[in-house]
Amino acid sequence: MDVHPPPLCPPPLPPPPQPDFNPFPTPIPNSEPTAPQLTIPATPPTPNARLVSLLIYNGWPFADHWEYFVASPIQHDTGTIITAAGNVRVGFALEIKRQWDLRAEGSQPDRRVALGWVGSRLFEDIAEGGGPGGESPEGGGGYEEGPGPVCAFERALFRCPAPEKTLRNVDGIGVEDRTDGRVRITQRNCQTWVIEAAEQLEKEGIFEQKVVDFLRSTRP
């Protein structure tokens, strides 16, 4: 009987080439939008317009303190402070400090950011030359407390309420939202009030939306 040799098996195919391994892949370009910037004219657009600025004080190890500063048209380093004073444990209260001199010792902020000019019509109830709501031409004499909002601009800010207490004294747990079965801590402070007040001013046509966007992007 004839014996046939077994068929020859074809040699195995070589393994496919492996792609080059790059331990340092090309980074993905940052697609986040650039934080908005404010460009404020150095001179007022209308006579007696007032420059409104954000004052930032270093609050380490806690959050930085934010407040509004309305400069006097006479002396731009003196003016009115509008702030939410307090803390998250006891809550906040809106305060006004008039004839505030940023040149005085202990009054200098860590940052002063111009937000925009506000027309004089919103300050028509403020008496120049001192007294409640006014500024002395020299910008001296020390600051005065209160007596509360006396012009349209200040009343617009006060339509945004001060933050209430958002930490409990005993366990430190914040405001609870149990609608989804979980606890969410919502903490409001002087920074959130400044932003919410800016939103109110934007609704009333006093601030532009870019100011609100800037404040939102500035908050840590």
Helix axes 190-203, 209-218, angle to 10 degrees: 170
Reported as a single tens digit per residue, the pLDDT across 86-141 is 887 888 899 999 999 999 888 889 999 999 999 999 998 765 434 444 454 444 44
For 24-59, the pLDDT digits (tens) are 334 434 434 455 678 898 899 999 999 999 999 998
Q: Could you give the 3-state DSSP secondary structure of residue 201?
A: helix
For 9-35, b/e burial (b = at least 16 CB within 10 A) is: eeeeeeeeeeeeeeeeeeeeeeeeeee
Q: What is the DSSP string of 125-161?
A: TPPSSSSTT---TT--S--EE-----SHHHHHHHTSP
| Distance between CA atoms of residues 202 and 68, nearest Å | 15
Q: pTM of the full predicted structure?
A: 0.71
